[in-house]
Amino acid sequence: MALTQIQQIHQLLEDKKHVLITFRSQYSSDSVASALALALFLKKIGKRVDIVSDQFSLPKQLSFLKQSEVIQSRFRHLQKFIVTIDVAKTGLNELSYDVKDEKLRIFITPKEGFLTRDQIRTAQTDFKYDMIMVIDSPDLSSLGSLYENNSDLFFQLPILNIDHAPHNEQFGHINIVDITKVSTAEVVYELLNQLGAEYIDEPIATALLTGMIANTRSFKTEHVKPTTLTTASKLMSLGAKREYIVQHLYRTKTIATLKLWGQALAHLTSYPDLSLVSTSITREDFSRSGATEHDLYDIVDELIANAPEAKLILLLHEHARQENGAETIHAFLHTTKDFDAKLLTQPFHPEGERQRVTFTLQSTSLKEAEDKIITTIREQQKQ
C-alpha cells in the first residue's frame, strides 16, 4: 500500500539530523515567516536546522519573530576536505601553512627521510546537511547563487518543496503545493498540524499568522477565503496576537521611510491604458530622506494597497554611480494574477516569479529606462 505524503515526510525525517531550509532570493515576508515557523518546529522535534537565503537581509518589520536573526545570507561551509598523509616511516617534525595568492600551501617536515605523493590521500566528507526544505519558491533557479554555485548539494539530497503558487514547478522529491491556500504559511500550518500539532506553540503560531497577514495585506486581498480566516482563528487560539503582528508589519514605518514614500508619490505617473502606475526614486531622494534601498519593498507594498485600480506597479530607482560614471537603474514590477511579470519584462532578463520581478538597466537615465520599460510592456501586452 502506497504511503501518503505525510507518512513519506515522517519517514524521511526519522533518520535526518541536519536540515537546510531555504527560499527564493526575491523573498517575501511570507517566505521568511514560513521558514522560521518550520525551523522552530523542527528544532522542537530534535533536528538541527539552518535557514539560508541568497544575499538575505532581515527586514526591520520582521525582526520581532523568534530567531529571525539566525537566517544566513550564504553557506558557512558545506563539506570538509581531508588530507591524509602516511608518516609511519618518516615521522612528523613540523607542520605549518600559509595562504598566498588565494592558494593554501601546507608545509610538512618529516623527522627523517622524505615524503612522496604515494603517501598522500585526499577525501571529502559528506554534506553537513542530509535534507533540504525549499519554501515559497517556484523553482530551484529562484534560489540564486545558493543553487547555482552548489548544484551538487541539491542533486544529492532529498528535497521537500512547500508552496502555494500555481506556477510552482514541482521540483521536489516530495511536493506540498496547495494552490487553494493564500500563503505558504497556511500550507506550512496544515503540514505541521499533521506532523505534530502538539508542538505548535506561540512563537510558531505567531510566525505563521505573520506570513498569512503579510500575504493578504491583513486579510484585505480578494483571494481570502473562509478557510483562511478559520486557520487564522486557530493560530490566534494557539497564542498568535494579530494586533501585535499588524503593529510590527504596518505601523512601525521610520521617518526616513515616510519621507521616501512622499518622494515616490510626488513622482507617481499613471498609464490607464496599461492599468499601470509607475514611480521613480533618485539618489538625491535617498539622500534627502535618509532611507535605504531596502525601504523600497515597503513602498511597493504601499502602492499595491493604495492603488487598487492598478494591475501593474512599476518602481525604478538609481543605484550609486559607478567609478566610470555609468548609470544603473534597478526596476521592480509587481502584477496582479491577471498578468505575468516575467513575460512582460522578458527582454530585460528579469529575476523573480510570475507576479513580482526585478531587473536592471545599464547606462541609462531614469526617464529613458521608464520609457523603454513602458514601451516593452505595451508591446508584450499586444502580443
* Domain parsing of the chain, residue ranges: 5-75+128-249, 81-124, 255-382
In 3D space, the residue among 318, 309, 332, 315 whose CA is nearest the CA of residue 287 turns out to be 318
Distance CA 284, CA 277 (A): 22
- Edge-to-edge strand list for the sheet holding 48-52: 48-52, 18-23, 131-135, 159-163, 174-177
CB of 353 closer than 8 Å to CB of 26:
yes
DSSP state of 126: P
Q: Give the up-direction half-sphere exposure of residue 256: CA atoms within 13 A in the CB hemisphere.
A: 10
Report the relative pairing of strands 48-52 and 18-23 from DSSP bridges: parallel
DSSP state of 112: S
Over the chain (383 residues), the average pLDDT of each successive run of 10 is 83 92 92 97 96 91 94 82 75 80 80 78 72 95 92 94 92 95 96 96 97 89 88 96 90 78 86 90 86 70 69 86 69 86 91 82 89 92 81
Question: Selecting from 1.10.3720.10, 3.50.50.60, 3.90.1640.10, 1.10.8.420, what CATH number does the domain 5-75+128-249 have?
Answer: 3.90.1640.10
pLDDT of residue 15: 87
Domains 5-75+128-249 and 255-382 share a fold: no
pLDDT of residue 217: 82
Q: What is the pLDDT of residue 48?
A: 95
Q: Which SS3 state, helix, strand or coil, does residue 159 take?
A: strand
pTM above 0.75, yes or no: yes
Tell which CATH classification among 3.40.366.30, 3.10.310.30, 3.10.20.30, 3.90.1150.10 matches the domain 255-382: 3.10.310.30
Burial 262-297 (b: 16+ CB within 10 A, else e): ebbeebeeeeeebbbbbbbbeeebbeebebeeebbb
